[in-house]
Amino acid sequence: MTRAFKILTYTPSVRAAQARYGSREATKPVDPAEVERDVLSAPIREFIAAQDHFFMASVGENGWPYVQHRGGPPGFLQCLDDHTLGFADFIGNRQYISAGNIAHDDRTMLFLIDYANRRRLKIWGRARIVHEEDDAALLARLELPTYRARVERGLAIDIEAFDFNCPQHITPRFTVAEISERFPANSPGSAF
C-alpha cells in the first residue's frame, strides 16, 4: 500500500468506518509531510503494459460518478514517465461522458485487473485531454499503428497514488489467447 493512497482515501468518514469495524489500528494514518508522489517501478510498468483493458472513473458536474470501460491491445495504456500514464482514446459510442467530466473535474481513477493472475491495481490521478493541435507529438506517441481503430484524442494522467489490493475474491478468468497459449490446439488431449 502506498503512502499517497492513504492520504487520498483515508478521509475522516473512512477513518470512522475503520474504527467502527475494528481495522483502525491496522490502518494507521500517514503524516502528509512524509508523502512523496508515487513512482511507477519496473514491476508496476510491466503489469500496466500487459493489460488489454481497464475501467476509468470520473465525476460529473452533478456529483455522480461515472465508470467507463477502456480496451485495446496489451500496452495501449502506456507509462509515459515515472509519474504519468497515457492512452489513445479511440472513437466509441460518441457520448463523450468521460471527456466532459474530465473537462469539468480532472480527477480520475483507473482500475486494472488481471483475472488470470488474480491481481488488481487502483490508480488515482489527474487527467488531461490531448488533442492533435495541442500536442501532436504526444498523440503520435500514444497511437498504435497496428491497431485498427480511429484515435479521436489522447488522455494523459498524472498519477497521485496507486495501490495493489487483495486478490481474495478475484475469480480467475482467462482470455482465448491465454487458453490457446496454455493448451495449443494441436496438442494431444486438447479439448479445443
The model's pTM? 0.82
Q: What pLDDT does 111 receive?
A: 96
pLDDT digits (tens, 9 = 90+) for 47-72: 999 999 999 999 999 999 999 999 98
- What does CATH list as the number for 38-182? 2.30.110.10
Cα torsion through 165, 169, 172, 173, rounded to 10: -90
Q: Which residue has the higher pLDDT, 35 or 119?
A: 119
Domain residue ranges in the chain: 1-36, 38-182
Question: What rounded mean pLDDT belongs to the chain?
Answer: 86
pLDDT at 125 over 80: yes
CB neighbours of residue 16 within 10 Å:
11
Q: What pLDDT does 25 receive?
A: 73
Q: What pLDDT does 189 receive?
A: 55
Residue 35 confidence class, pLDDT cut points 50, 70, 90: very low
Residue 188 confidence class, pLDDT cut points 50, 70, 90: low
C-alpha of 21 from chain center: 28
3-state secondary structure 69-80: EEECCCCCCEEE
Cα Rg of the chain (Å, integer): 19
94 contact partners, CB below 8 Å, separation of at least 6? none
4 three-class SS = helix
